Amino acid sequence: MALAHAASGDLLDIRPLGPTLPQAKSHTLVQSPSIEIFRMVLPAGRTVAPHRVAGAITVQCLEGAIEFEAHGRVIEMRAGHLVYLEPQAMHGLKALQDSSVLVTLVHAAVRGA
């Protein structure tokens, strides 16, 4: 069963998953033409290959620890850390521990809109 996306004004719980983290799945919380917010669940050792996205992005570590690579450097992120990237910035990551991150993607503006 797919999880419903939040509507404008809905309250979302993004607290750490704690002991349920190993069984949790990644899922989109908000999806609209202008923004997408999703919780990515990463077991220890999982990597996300370097890639680019059209719009600006933030990545917030909710729990665990990840290595985040962007702008030619690798930073270790732990719970409470957040990073912002400009549109088209190459980035990738690796989970050092079972982790969950909150990703906010601002969709690139549609031309002529």
Answer whether 51's CB lies under 8 Å from 96's CB: no
> Which residue range is the domain that position 100 belongs to?
27-106
Q: Given this model, what pLDDT does residue 108 score?
A: 72
pTM for this predicted structure: 0.90
Q: Per the domain annotation, does 73 fall within a domain?
A: yes
Kindly give, in sequence order, each residue whose CB lies less than 8 Å from that of residue 1, ignoring residues fewer than 6 positions away.
none
Q: Per the domain annotation, does 17 fall within a domain?
A: no
Answer whether 104's CB lies under 8 Å from 57's CB: yes
pLDDT at 111 over 90: no
Q: Per the domain annotation, does 1 fall within a domain?
A: no
Q: Per the domain annotation, does 3 fall within a domain?
A: no
Query: How many structural domains does the chain have?
Result: 1
Q: Given this model, what pLDDT does residue 1 score?
A: 45
Where in the chain does DSSP place strands (E)?
27-31, 35-42, 47-51, 57-63, 65-70, 73-78, 82-85, 91-95, 99-106
Q: Given this model, what pLDDT does residue 3 score?
A: 66
Q: Per the domain annotation, does 2 fall within a domain?
A: no
Q: Given this model, what pLDDT does residue 109 score?
A: 66
Q: CATH number, domain at 100?
A: 2.60.120.10
pLDDT in tens, 71-80: 999 999 999 9
pLDDT at 113 over 70: no
pLDDT in tens, 15-64: 999 999 999 999 999 999 999 999 999 999 999 999 999 999 999 999 99
Q: Per the domain annotation, does 102 fall within a domain?
A: yes
Q: Does residue 112 or residue 25 have the better pLDDT?
A: 25
